[in-house]
Amino acid sequence: MTLFTEMLDLAGERAGGSVLAASDDFFAEKENLIKAADPVFVAGKYTDRGKWMDGWESRRKRTPGHDWAVIRLGIAGVIHGVVLDTRYFTGNYPEQASLEACTASGGARLEDLTDWIELVPKSPLRGDTQNQVQVAHSQRFTHVRLNIFPDGGVARLRIHGEPSPDWRSLGAEVDLAAAACGASIVDSSDRHYGHPRNILMPGPGRDMGDGWETRRRRGPGHDWVILRLAAEGSIARVEVDTSHFKGNFPDQCSLEVSATGQEDSWSEVLGKSKLQAHTRHVFERELASVPAARFARFHIYPDGGVSRLRLFGRMSEQGRLEANLAALNVAPLKQAVAEFLRCCGSAAWAAAMIAGRPFADWNSLETLARSAWKRGKREDWLEAFAAHPRIGEQGRSKWAREEQSGVAGGKAETLGELEKLNLQYLEKFGYIFIVCATGKGPEEILDNLRRRVKNHPEEEVLNAAEEQRQITRLRLKKLLSE
């Protein structure tokens, strides 16, 4: 089992995090909370406000209340644990602390942050200590709020967890090797001077210590790193950045990919290619065309340091489905409910789907969707039917328009009869005519309506429920394919 402290620090400056605001930082700046380096203590160092401290420190509070700081995570994700580091704060650390989190858009202002969820309840702190607290919450978060009671100093705040990107905002081409998208290191030959995880981090490398650097190789062979891509996909462009590495850059590099990561499954995408010092190299025309992959193996010859590795490409259909399913599993409650209601307008069905999270794969999602619908009551079915526009009617939903696109080109007399029978159907059964219209033309839908309008109400509601089940299945597929 992976210790949470070995996971990414989602809030750190290397991840692109930022401290948006603090109630007070009189003695030491709030920005120190997310510094990458460990805190230090300098004896005898003072500022015009008091003793210099490497952390966030508020003044002594003389009124009711407590101090707080709000941090935007550099990498949104699921939080598994936090470290409240009070090193060098001995007589001035907070007595207690708590942590809340919320989910918002990337450009959200402080006043836009709502629906805070408590991850760490008000808990005692120890001074001059890395206070570690495990978190058990499956939601994706973008912001955290650290509360200290009543005041004092915290050297560093580490928010460890698993990245969970907003895939819909990334476009068709994504960096499959980005830590922010969920790429991770599986193994490496050497990490003496710098962890290979650094090459997956956002932004350019800050210095030579912010990259992957191996020791000097004195024997045969070369160094390598294996990474699990953020999603299954095909690589179209490779960027190898040796910035800051001048006398210790690799002479050459190459890249292989694999669907399984097994030793006999690797295919070469980029053959041995020359590298230069302190340079961002872009390889595109040099790449071989290979099947979609889930793993990549990056080789450097014979050793040295690399600042960043970018593997730009497109997710496969399966990769997109798995990525969107993972995002749905950790989506905030309101968002997840809204997504399920897009697929089926029954609140009871959507609640059953929420309760079924997380889903291991498409089959488990589809199985629950079918069984939850069959367990539904008549009023649940009618609620779902009411969420649809009538056949031939211009619906607000993009999916509804796509599903009924075959009707739009029908002949005037066909559309007229559809309208007439739609009204008869509604008057007889009390709900609109439900049919899975995807792939059906106007004549086929009209024939279907002619037959079903003659049915007994008890028979017809079952027919409509089955059509709704088929519509829901197709919409779930669309949801996971966006």
DSSP of 12-33: SGGGT-EEEEES--SSB-GGGG
Q: How do beta strands 223-241 and 173-175 pair?
A: unpaired
What whole-number distance in Å separates Cα of residue 99 and Cα of residue 80?
13
Tell me the pLDDT of the chain (482 aa) as tens digits. Answer: 568 999 999 999 999 999 999 999 999 999 999 999 999 999 999 999 999 999 999 999 999 999 999 999 999 999 999 999 999 999 999 999 999 999 998 788 999 999 999 999 999 999 999 999 999 999 999 999 999 999 999 999 999 999 999 888 888 899 999 999 999 999 999 999 999 999 999 999 999 999 999 999 999 999 999 999 999 999 999 999 999 999 999 999 999 999 999 999 999 999 999 999 999 999 999 999 999 999 999 999 999 999 999 999 999 999 999 999 999 999 999 999 999 999 999 999 999 999 999 999 999 999 999 999 999 999 999 999 999 987 766 556 777 777 776 676 678 888 899 899 999 999 999 999 999 988 888 899 999 999 999 999 999 999 999 999 999 999 999 999 98
Please report the pLDDT score of residue 411 as a whole number: 85
Whole-model pTM?
0.91
The total of other beta-carbon atoms located within 10 Å of residue 183's CB is 22
pLDDT value of residue 106? 74
Q: What distance in Å separates the CA atoms of residue 366 and residue 372, rounded to the nearest whole number?
A: 10
* Domains of the chain and any CATH numbers: 4-163 (2.60.120.260), 173-315 (2.60.120.260), 332-479 (1.10.3330.10)
Task: State the DSSP string of 204-248.
Answer: ---STTSSEEPPPP-SS--EEEEEEEEEEEEEEEEEEE-TT-SSS
Q: How far is CA 117 from the centre of its chain?
A: 18
Give 59's contacts (C-beta < 8 A, 6+ positions apart). Answer: 24, 26, 27, 151
Q: What is the pLDDT of residue 450?
A: 96
In the block, tokens 């050793």 appear at 303
Burial class (CB in 10 A: 0-12, 13-18, 19+), 457: exposed
Q: What angle do CA 31, 34, 37 make, to 5 degrees?
A: 110
228, 186 in Cβ contact below 8 A? Answer: yes
Interatomic CA distance for residues 137 and 139, integer angstroms: 6
What does DSSP say about strands 293-301 and 252-258: parallel, antiparallel, or unpaired?
A: antiparallel
